[in-house]
Amino acid sequence: MRILKLMFKNTLRHKLRTFLTIFGIGVAVMAFGFLRTVVTAWYSGVEASAANRLITRNSVSFIFPLPLAYKDKIAKLPGVETVSYMNWFGGVYIDKSQFFARMAVDPETALEVYPEFIVAPDQLAAFKNERNSCIIGADLAKQYNFKLGDVIPIEGDIYPGKWEFVVRAIYQPRDKMVDGTQMWFHWAYLDERMRQEMPGRAGNVGWYIIRIKDPKDAAQISEEVDKLFQNSRAETKTETEAAFQQGFVAGTGLIISLLNFMAFVIIGIIMLILGNTMIMSARERTKEYAVLKTIGFSGSHLTKLIAGESIIISLLGGGLGIALTYPIVGLFSLVVPKSWFPIFYVEPMTLILAGSSALLVGIVASLFPIQRSLRTSIVDGLRFVG
Partner 1 sequence: MKIPLKYTLRNFQSRRLTTGITVIGIAMVVFVFTAVLMLAAGIRKTLVATGSTENVIVARKAANGEISSIIMNDTYNIIMSIPQVAKTADNRPMATGDVVVIINLTKIGTSGGISNVTVRGVSQPAFQLRPHVKVVEGRMFTWGAREVIVGSSIFRRFEGAQVGSTIKFAGDAWTVVGKYEAGGTGFDSEIWGDVTQLQDAFNRPGSFSTVTFRMASSDQLDAINKSFAGDNRLQQFEAKTERRFFEEQSEFMSIFISALGIFITVFFSVGAVIGAMITMYAAVANRTVEIGTLRALGFRRRSVLAAFMTESIIISLVGAAVGLFLASFLQFLKVSTLNFGSFSELEFSFTLTPETITSALIFAVLMGLVGGFLPAVRAARLNIVNALRSA
x-marked contacts with partner 1 along 319-348 as a string, rule CB under 8 A: -------------x----------------
x-marked contacts with partner 1 along 14-43 as a string, rule CB under 8 A: --xx--xx-xxx-xx-xx--xx--x-----
> Is 371 a residue that touches partner 1 (CB under 8 A)?
no
181 within 8 A of 139, measured Cβ to Cβ: yes
38 within 8 A of 325, measured Cβ to Cβ: no
89 within 8 A of 100, measured Cβ to Cβ: no
178 Ramachandran zone, left/alpha/beta (phi>0; psi -120 to 50): beta
Which residues 75-94 are close enough to bind partner 1 by CB under 8 A?
90-92
Stretch that binds partner 1, among 212-220, 251-259, 287-295, 297-305 (CB under 8 A): 251-259
> Is 247 a residue that touches partner 1 (CB under 8 A)?
yes
Query: Do strands 117-118 and 161-173 pair parallel, antiparallel, or not at all (unpaired)?
Result: antiparallel
At 162, give phi and psi (nearest 5°). -100, 135
Stretch that binds partner 1, among 73-81, 105-113, 122-130, 256-264 (CB under 8 A): 256-264
**Distance (Å, rounded) from C-alpha 357 to C-alpha 364?**
10
* Kind and range of the H or E run holding 210: strand 207-212
Q: Which positions ≥6 away from 375 have C-beta within 8 Å?
A: none
Stretch that binds partner 1, among 164-172, 221-229, 269-277, 351-359 (CB under 8 A): 269-277
**Distance (Å, rounded) from C-alpha 342 to C-alpha 24?**
31
Query: Do strands 183-186 and 102-105 pair parallel, antiparallel, or not at all (unpaired)?
Result: parallel
Which residues 180-219 are close enough to bind partner 1 by CB under 8 A?
200
> Is 155 a residue that touches partner 1 (CB under 8 A)?
yes
x-marked contacts with partner 1 along 279-318 as a string, rule CB under 8 A: xx--------------------------------------
> Is 118 a residue that touches partner 1 (CB under 8 A)?
no
**Distance (Å, rounded) from C-alpha 359 to C-alpha 75?**
54
> Is 254 a residue that touches partner 1 (CB under 8 A)?
yes
> Is 265 a residue that touches partner 1 (CB under 8 A)?
yes
> Is 61 a residue that touches partner 1 (CB under 8 A)?
yes
> Is 96 a residue that touches partner 1 (CB under 8 A)?
yes
Name the burial class of residue 296, with classes exposed (0-12), middle (13-18) and buried (19+) by CB atoms within 10 angstroms of its CB. exposed
> Is 370 a residue that touches partner 1 (CB under 8 A)?
no
29 within 8 A of 327, measured Cβ to Cβ: no
> Is 275 a residue that touches partner 1 (CB under 8 A)?
yes
Smallest gap from residue 138 Cβ to partner 1 (A): 26
Smallest gap from residue 39 Cβ to partner 1 (A): 11
Size, binding site for partner 1 by CB under 8 A: 59
Query: Do strands 183-186 and 133-137 pair parallel, antiparallel, or not at all (unpaired)?
Result: antiparallel
128 within 8 A of 208, measured Cβ to Cβ: no
> Is 353 a residue that touches partner 1 (CB under 8 A)?
no
Cα dist. 303→238, 273, 314, 372 in Å?
59, 20, 16, 11
> Is 233 a residue that touches partner 1 (CB under 8 A)?
yes
Smallest gap from residue 280 Cβ to partner 1 (A): 5
**Positive or negative torsion for Cα 336, 341, 347, 349:** negative
Binding site for partner 1 (CB under 8 A): 16-17, 20-21, 23-25, 27-28, 30-31, 34-35, 38, 59-64, 90-92, 96, 155-158, 160, 200, 233, 235, 237, 247-248, 250-255, 258-259, 261-262, 265-266, 268-270, 272-273, 275-277, 279-280, 332, 386
